[in-house]
Chain A
Amino acid sequence: MRTCGLLGKLSIGVLLVGSLTVAQPAGAQVTFERLLNSAKEPQNWMTYSGDYTGKRFSALDQINLTNARSLVAKWVYQTGASGKLETTPLVVDGILYATAQDDRAFALDARTGRPIWMYQRQLPGDIRPCCGRVNRGLAILGDKVFLGTLDAHVIALDVKTGNVVWDVTAADYRTGHSFTVAPLVVKNLVVIGISGGEYGVRGFIDAYDAGTGERKWRFYTVPGPGEPGHDSWEGDSWKVGGAPAWNTGTYDATTNQIFWPTGNPSPSNRGEGRAGDNLYSNSLLALNADSGKLNWYFQFTKHDEHDWDATQVPVMIDTTSDAGGKHLIAQANRNGFFYVIDRASGKLVSATAYGKTTWSDTKDAEGRPIARPEASPTLEGHTVCPGALGTTNFMAPTYDSQTGLFYVTARDQCDIFSTAPQPYEAGHAFYGSAYFPSEEARPYLGFLKAIDPATGQIKWKFQHTSPTWSGVLSTAGGLVFSGDAEGNFIAFDAASGKPLWHFQMGGAVYAAPIAFAVDGKEYVAIAAGSAVYAFGLP
């Protein structure tokens, strides 16, 4: 018996703002108060997920169910980068700030796409970030934007020129550390999590003074000797335990907590040698924003052997019901289950499969899916669903309080997982063997799924032609926007999943969409191929 029936009606406190034009001169400074009250200025997109709750919902409704069919491309900005463009742009008072591969950053006139400044970091020749030389975006505060770099620095750029204001080293890139995540500004802190779960790094989340770059706190996601959770690692395995933190978290001002998710234990495909739960890998962490101290954690996949990083955006959802409201976090996890967690206690409310899963057929006393021993990788390899890339991955989801639905890009793909002993060697890939897409599980499918968080049920799904990596945006116009691997950008009816409009962008989508407005006109923007696109009404 689950308690999800208590959720009742879901709602959020987004203030719908009729006017699109709260007057701000271009280049006005972003304060923490503005970030906290982002709902008051829906024309801007000032954080990775659009607000601190992680909903990726825009209160703009000029583009809506009645006119979405007439959307047209307004401009295209070619970044000149190759590989996967994963950026979520920010828009503040008419200027769009985004990133591209190899630590490019740029500011554009958001009405025309014309560049105002461009920055590209001179990276060392021997960096080896995982999964492409990608970056997922900037954070902004005051007169600076903040970028985590592929050589594991955190840098601040002048918001008007792109000049480097400060540059600090977080870790040594030679041991496999890098940043690909969009940082999150909370108060005067730039919060950022490290990548490197492929190299056996010891993961951490850092907070830097936005003014000076001085590091204010660090939370190691793998506890050291004497710390709680350290005994969840065998021997010295904690030293190379992974648990990176490479996707952007959320922030609850009422409790002053940052919710930040973590990734796989290292080596990803081999549990032998690291017996135990391997805390705090594949977990959601609730950290005090001022001190970085851990308030609570919830571990999604214990002792993971399938590379199922739990680094998906933890979306804050509040409910109202006769029994009183609930403050929850919803996460569509890479392991194929949709989790609802109580935000105050970190206790699990429900976990429901939302894609093809073969690794778990039972739950523990708390209701958490637990792995079948037979799902462990073998020397010769065998098929487990989902595959290592997961039912979802870094693609940003959205929650729309108008429909009460959580929308996420989901993949049905199974992999053959194999394991083999592998000694750790600093700076070398440390997987403990390999995984491949399983031929027997073809065809691999991709979906946009609308999940009811109250029940875990899938209300509708749209099947893409192939698995996709696109994030999702919902808007007050009754629309959901997402992309596909074939290069389409698509507007859906949020209630039914019916596609209303599409545009062929000529390159696969690995980024997430945003909405903004300038001069009273709403735009929807997304990166695809090697370019950033903006769409609007004719």
Chain B
Amino acid sequence: MRGRASLPPTFVKSMPELAFEPTIVHAEAPRRPQVIVPDQELVDRLRAGERRAFRAFVDQHQGHVTFTVVSMMGRTEEVDDVVQDVFVRFYESLDQFRGEASVTTYLKRIAVNRSLDALRRRKRWHARFLSRDDEHNGLREPAAVETLPLERNERAAEVHRAIAALSDKHKAVVVLRLLEGFSTEETADILNIAYGTVLSRLSRATETLKHSLQWLLRDAR
């Protein structure tokens, strides 16, 4: 599974399906033989200006970066640009990366911040161009890209609607702590907020999600 070796153990542990469903990810992609290279080695080679190392780096981290961006923004056309931005930003800030945090943590920080920037741009765009009638109906999320079967698309749309209804700061905590399985400390570090703030935001967001995703709880029982 691409990118798996670079994920923190907690990330994999909390999502066991990641380890057993490799065919889901990039099933139609023209794959090169994938050799997992340690992040630090890739970063060193990147610093030495080796372009091939960057290709390997993107391949290894694309999966979990895309997951973060899709979770934050929904499955929209903007996702592709934001994921690209994350890697370009990482490349540009290589000099600032001192290795104090893991590469995954560093990438997650960039991914969350870029997603939040894109969400703010989206809101500004809505505020500027939507008519008053649209405003009364609430902000419209961009239409989901329809590539999945209808039922799955509807489920996905419901999940995205529930996440989109959260405020940005709650959204980031839910994605990192609840969905990606980072610890509370790691989430606090990535978002640069206090430990207690993560807990309180998570508690409030989870209550909201339980309410808005009742169908999901019903289906499972």
Is chain B a partner of chain A in the same complex? no
User: Which A residues have a C-beta under 8 Å from some C-beta of B?
Assistant: none
User: Which B residues have a C-beta under 8 Å from some C-beta of A?
Assistant: none
